[in-house]
Amino acid sequence: DAGITQSPRHKVTETGTPVTLRCHQTENHRYMYWYRQDPGHGLRLIHYSYGVKDTDKGEVSDGYSVSRSKTEDFLLTLESATSSQTSVYFCAISESILTSQPQHFGDGTRLSIL
Protein backbone atom coordinates (compact mmCIF):
# COMPACT_ATOMS: atom_id res chain seq x y z
CA ASP A 1 0.00 0.00 0.00
CA ALA A 2 1.10 3.56 -0.74
CA GLY A 3 2.58 5.35 2.27
CA ILE A 4 -0.13 7.89 2.96
CA THR A 5 -1.10 8.98 6.44
CA GLN A 6 -3.99 11.26 7.17
CA SER A 7 -4.45 12.99 10.51
CA PRO A 8 -6.55 13.21 12.47
CA ARG A 9 -8.68 10.20 11.50
CA HIS A 10 -11.71 11.59 13.29
CA LYS A 11 -12.58 15.09 14.43
CA VAL A 12 -15.65 16.76 15.87
CA THR A 13 -15.71 20.52 16.10
CA GLU A 14 -18.10 23.44 16.21
CA THR A 15 -19.30 25.77 13.50
CA GLY A 16 -17.01 28.75 13.01
CA THR A 17 -13.83 27.13 14.27
CA PRO A 18 -10.77 26.66 12.06
CA VAL A 19 -9.79 23.11 11.18
CA THR A 20 -6.64 21.77 9.55
CA LEU A 21 -6.30 18.28 8.13
CA ARG A 22 -2.92 16.84 7.30
CA CYS A 23 -1.83 14.43 4.61
CA HIS A 24 1.65 12.98 4.83
CA GLN A 25 3.23 10.77 2.15
CA THR A 26 6.43 8.78 2.10
CA GLU A 27 6.41 8.04 -1.66
CA ASN A 28 7.99 11.31 -2.82
CA HIS A 29 5.17 11.76 -5.35
CA ARG A 30 4.82 15.15 -6.95
CA TYR A 31 1.03 15.31 -7.11
CA MET A 32 -1.29 15.41 -4.12
CA TYR A 33 -5.05 15.85 -3.95
CA TRP A 34 -7.82 16.50 -1.44
CA TYR A 35 -11.27 15.02 -2.04
CA ARG A 36 -14.44 14.93 -0.01
CA GLN A 37 -16.91 12.06 -0.11
CA ASP A 38 -20.58 12.56 0.60
CA PRO A 39 -23.55 10.23 0.07
CA GLY A 40 -24.97 10.67 -3.41
CA HIS A 41 -22.00 12.67 -4.65
CA GLY A 42 -19.12 10.24 -4.85
CA LEU A 43 -15.68 11.80 -4.46
CA ARG A 44 -15.32 15.46 -5.36
CA LEU A 45 -12.00 17.22 -5.84
CA ILE A 46 -11.37 20.14 -3.49
CA HIS A 47 -7.80 21.20 -4.26
CA TYR A 48 -4.72 19.63 -5.70
CA SER A 49 -0.99 20.29 -5.75
CA TYR A 50 1.50 19.74 -8.53
CA GLY A 51 4.58 20.57 -6.50
CA VAL A 52 5.87 22.40 -3.46
CA LYS A 53 4.01 25.70 -3.16
CA ASP A 54 2.07 24.91 -6.36
CA THR A 55 -1.62 24.36 -5.79
CA ASP A 56 -4.85 24.83 -7.68
CA LYS A 57 -8.57 24.70 -7.07
CA GLY A 58 -10.81 21.77 -7.75
CA GLU A 59 -14.51 21.38 -8.26
CA VAL A 60 -15.61 22.28 -4.71
CA SER A 61 -12.92 24.62 -3.39
CA ASP A 62 -15.09 27.31 -1.76
CA GLY A 63 -14.44 27.50 1.98
CA TYR A 64 -11.18 25.54 1.77
CA SER A 65 -7.54 26.49 1.45
CA VAL A 66 -4.43 24.34 1.09
CA SER A 67 -0.73 24.61 1.56
CA ARG A 68 2.24 22.50 0.56
CA SER A 69 5.55 23.62 2.01
CA LYS A 70 7.22 20.23 1.66
CA THR A 71 6.88 17.43 -0.86
CA GLU A 72 5.58 15.06 1.76
CA ASP A 73 2.91 17.22 3.39
CA PHE A 74 -0.33 18.65 2.02
CA LEU A 75 -2.56 20.54 4.43
CA LEU A 76 -6.26 21.28 4.02
CA THR A 77 -7.69 24.14 6.07
CA LEU A 78 -11.27 25.08 6.75
CA GLU A 79 -10.91 28.69 7.87
CA SER A 80 -14.35 28.83 9.49
CA ALA A 81 -16.02 25.44 9.49
CA THR A 82 -19.68 25.11 8.52
CA SER A 83 -22.07 22.20 8.94
CA SER A 84 -22.07 21.68 5.17
CA GLN A 85 -18.41 20.72 5.44
CA THR A 86 -19.25 17.67 7.51
CA SER A 87 -17.84 14.91 5.35
CA VAL A 88 -15.17 12.28 4.93
CA TYR A 89 -12.00 13.78 3.49
CA PHE A 90 -9.53 11.76 1.46
CA CYS A 91 -6.04 12.63 0.40
CA ALA A 92 -4.56 11.06 -2.72
CA ILE A 93 -1.16 11.03 -4.37
CA SER A 94 0.18 10.23 -7.81
CA GLU A 95 3.56 10.14 -9.53
CA SER A 96 2.32 12.07 -12.51
CA ILE A 97 -0.81 13.65 -13.87
CA LEU A 98 -0.85 11.41 -16.90
CA THR A 99 -4.06 9.49 -17.31
CA SER A 100 -2.02 6.30 -17.39
CA GLN A 101 -0.99 6.73 -13.76
CA PRO A 102 -3.27 5.80 -10.84
CA GLN A 103 -3.94 7.85 -7.77
CA HIS A 104 -3.51 6.21 -4.40
CA PHE A 105 -5.71 7.21 -1.51
CA GLY A 106 -5.31 7.52 2.23
CA ASP A 107 -7.79 6.11 4.70
CA GLY A 108 -9.59 9.38 5.22
CA THR A 109 -10.55 11.83 7.95
CA ARG A 110 -14.12 11.78 9.21
CA LEU A 111 -15.00 15.37 10.09
CA SER A 112 -18.18 16.40 11.89
CA ILE A 113 -19.11 20.07 12.26
CA LEU A 114 -21.76 20.64 14.91
Residues engaged in binding other proteins (CB under 8 A) = 1, 4, 33, 37, 42-43, 45, 48, 50, 56-59, 90, 97-100, 102-108
**48/64 with CB nearer other proteins:** 48
Give CA separation, 51 vs 12, 13, 24, 43, in Å.
Answer: 30, 30, 14, 22
In the complex, minimum distance from the CB of residue 70 to other proteins, in angstroms, rounded to a whole number: 21
Give CA separation, 15 vs 19, 20, 106, in Å.
Answer: 10, 14, 26
In the complex, minimum distance from the CB of residue 16 to other proteins, in angstroms, rounded to a whole number: 28
**64/105 with CB nearer other proteins:** 105
Contact 86, 38 (CB under 8 A): no
